[in-house]
Every structure is written in structure tokens, then in C-alpha cells.
Structure 1
């Protein structure tokens, strides 16, 4: 996965103003028991119009990468919990004549993450116990 960020930095004294691009790349993976995505093996490069900032990038490369890496995990627990709630509500509201459905709590875990041409695709597994009972003749 790659991301380009256009920058236009202005400083009060104008001595350290710069413009250009910063590029980040890394591989997205699933972590935290299937509840988060992390971008690993992060690398970056920049093309800026300031010799000072080009030199500073070289000096502070390791520190910059540590900061970026510290913010490279995206916890999707809240989104997964909301999906579990929506599935539970939908099953509870289901009105299927002649059929009674009892479902347990869904368990959703992220299984994989893939980079498509313009999207990040996350694959999830859904496991849920379901009991269905025919309560009357469905076919007549």
C-alpha cells in the first residue's frame, strides 16, 4: 500500500518553508485477535524543495519512522461491535411465517486485508449459532 502526501509548510521566519511530497508505503495486516489492522514494514521518502528538510529527514529518519509506526494500528473493535449489534437486531426483527429462529451472539473476526486498485478490502469471518424450528406447515 502506498500513500502520497502533498506538503506546503510555512514557518514564521520563512527560512524553513518547504513544499513537495512525502510518500509512505507499508503492508496492511490483521492483528489483535482479528479486531485491528496494522500497517507493517513502513517506509517513507520525500521529495521537497528544501536542502535543510532533506538533510533533517536523513538525521531524524528513525525517529520519524517510530512515530509513524506508533500510529499505524487501526482498531476496528467499535465497528465490529456495531456490526454484531446490527446482525442481532436484524435477526430479532425477522418475521418468517412458519419459522422460529433463535440465534446466539455473532462473533466477527477480521481474517485478511488486501489492497485493491483504489480500495483497502478487509475480509471478516462471521460465526454464529442458529437454531431454526418449523412451527407450522410452510408449504401447502
Structure 2
């Protein structure tokens, strides 16, 4: 019984120590830099630059949708491994809205951002691959 109790205490101790370390690791992943838009084949030549200043996130994004260019910028926040920012489109695609929200989750290895946009009552997928260092 003593061995079992010691084992349980050991497991609780390891869990208590490892959870903050894992949370710190996720938050220490670097999102600054160049990201490639890899959403789907309708999008090409897509590049996003992210700059993080403390919890604030600044984004500039250029992408072509079926050959039509779109330019947008965004400002938001990072909480843990999630970034969320409001976007404003400065060069729009006809029929698309000019404002929205993006919510992206950083992969455990820091090489992918996946999530979704919401805009004008619509929601769709977003996916970016780290292109810079």
C-alpha cells in the first residue's frame, strides 16, 4: 500500500510540474516572421507577416484568390497558443466583406497556424505554414 501511495504522489507531482512547463513551451513558440498561406489550391502567392509585441499581435497578409489579389492587416492578441485578431481588408475581392476576425492556433512544433475566419456571417478555414525562421 505504501508503494502504491508513493506512486500516486509521484504521478501528481510530475503532473503538477509538467503542466506549467508545457504551457510555457506553447507560449514561447515564436510566431514572429513570415508565414505562407497554404489554405487550398484556390489561394496562391499568399504571404503573411506576424509581429508579436508582448501579448499584442500585428498581421499583414497578401494572397491571390483565383488570381485576384487581396491585402489585409490585423491587430489582436495572443493567449497561450492561440492568436486572434480583427482584420481590415484594404484591397478587396469583389463581393467579399472588408472586415472580419481570424482565430489561429499554433502547432506544437511552431510550424503551422490553423484556424478559421469569421466575416459577414460566414466562417471558413485558414492554414499557414512557417516560411521564415
TM-score after normalising by structure 1: 0.30
* Structure of higher CA gyration radius: 1
TM-score after normalising by structure 2: 0.31
Higher strand share: 2
Higher helix share: 1
